[in-house]
Amino acid sequence: MRKLLSASVLAACLAAANGAQAGALLFRTTLGPEVPGATGSGSAWVWLDPVANTLRIQAEFSGLTGNTTVAHIHCCTTIPGTGTVGVAVTPGTLTGFPTGVTSGSYDRTFATDDTATYTSGFLTGAGAGTTDGAEAALIAGMRAGKAYFNIHSTAFPPGEIRGFLAAVPEPAALGLFGLGLAALSALRRRTAAP
């Protein structure tokens, strides 16, 4: 009976945690020099909500060696955290990204169910020709550490600063996981007591 109760508690916690993650996914990166001689730094936050079909990108940067030319998200490298790959999100540059500056900030939301959000290569390749496929590939790439945010400049046209996106754990899911561990611990103590 106790094993059944333990299994039921664990199953309920896992189901609740899985449901808590059904909303927006959060990714973050610290931006640093992509090549020797680059001096810029910054950070970027990416929220991707597969239910609302939105992708919000926020970035701050400063100290670039050259003036900004383009910025975008690349995906998906072969090895997590290293390498280069084609652009995934927005052909050219992110809509409204500040160009011609060495420091600035950016905040924009894109529709992930709009083909214009993705490059044609990413949409037809990784996305298998659909926005649902492209969104799923982007999520998988970001979760695996195979997607990076990149800012290009006049001094470094191939890219001045970049950072690989990493998932930020969802507090609700972590809380539910902790609650499940506490419940299992209490059950274990209860069964161990004489």
Q: What is the pLDDT of residues 83-124, one digit of tens each?
A: 999 999 988 899 999 999 999 999 999 999 999 999 999 999
Q: What is the per-residue pLDDT across 9-57, written as a single tens digit (0 to 9) for each?
A: 444 444 444 444 458 899 999 999 999 999 999 999 999 999 999 999 9
CATH topology of domain 22-169: Immunoglobulin-like (2.60.40)
Instruction: Break the chain into its structural domains and give their ranges.
Output: 22-169
| pLDDT score of 28 | 98
pLDDT at 193: 53
Cα 64 to Cα 41: distance, rounded to the nearest angstrom: 7
- Residues 104 and 61: beta-carbon distance below 8 Å: yes
Per-residue pLDDT of 135-194, as tens digits, reads: 999 999 999 999 999 999 999 999 999 999 999 987 655 555 566 656 656 655 555 555
Q: Is the bond leading into 76 cis (omega within 30 degrees of zero)?
A: yes
Q: Which of 173, 174, 125, 146 is nearest to 75 (CA)?
A: 146
pTM, 2 dp: 0.78
For residue 141, what pLDDT is reported?
Answer: 98
Terminal CA-to-CA distance of the chain, rounded, Å? Answer: 17
